[in-house]
Amino acid sequence: MPSERVQRRIDRLLDQAEEAADSRDWKSVLGSVAGVLALDAENEDALAFREMAEKASESEPSDSQPAIAPSGSATTNGAATTGEIPSSFADGRYTVLRLLGEGGKKKVYLAHDSVLDRDVAFA
């Protein structure tokens, strides 16, 4: 059984997965679910969301989501070349959860700061 803190984190990630599923943002669903499964590999809700997202993303055109590139100051795990949302940056301190918005010059991401153990916005 996970600690209270870990359970709160799991609940937040599942809430984010649910919101992303409502807006049919399957990449964000998979990102949130991956965070849950890293904490609790047998979480039934996360497994159900993952199955739903995988089935839905197979049946929808791949260009339904915009290509995401990280800002120039962030370091990523190779996501800049693939055009996808980076999984983490700043040497793994921030784990990207989803794209919040995009302006004329930058993209803003919702990320989890592993040092502060809280969600932050990062451009």
Residue 123 to residue 34: CA distance in whole angstroms: 22
Mean predicted confidence (pLDDT) in 45-51: 92
Mean predicted confidence (pLDDT) in 55-68: 61
Instruction: Report the phi/psi class of residue 119: left, alpha or beta, with left for phi > 0 and alpha for psi in -120 to 50.
Output: beta
Q: CB of 106 within 8 A of CB of 113?
A: no
Q: CA-CA-CA-CA torsion for 76, 12, 102, 50, nearest 10 degrees?
A: 70
- 3 state SS of 108: strand
The pLDDT tens digits of the residues spanning 85-99 come to 666 666 677 888 888
